[in-house]
Amino acid sequence: MRLLLVAVMSITALAVVLIARASGSQDYTTHIGLRVPPSEARCVKTGELSTDDDKRLSIFQCPV
């Protein structure tokens, strides 16, 4: 009985992951640099990081 329950829960979890991936599937590319991408690219700024020279680099996610 325990094995059946584990199998059913595993299959359910797999189905949820596959459905979530299919409904929200939009691939993104990540761009890191000093320049801001053009507005036509519909990029979203997701963060910043600093280099060894204390330059601030922006991190953008852009849809493919």
Q: Is the overall model pTM greater than 0.75, yes or no?
A: no
Query: Residue 1 has what pLDDT?
Result: 85
List, for residues 1-60, the tens digit of each pLDDT value: 888 888 888 888 887 777 766 555 567 888 899 898 998 989 999 999 988 888 899 999
Query: Residue 59 has what pLDDT?
Result: 93
Query: Residue 24 has what pLDDT?
Result: 54
Say if residues 16 and 32 touch (Cβ distance below 8 Å): no
Which residue(s) pair with 60 in the sheet? 31, 45
Distances from the Cα of 59 to the Cαs of 9, 19, 24, in angstroms?
Answer: 38, 29, 22
Give the number of other Cβ atoms within 10 Å of residue 43's Cβ.
20
Query: Residue 17 has what pLDDT?
Result: 75
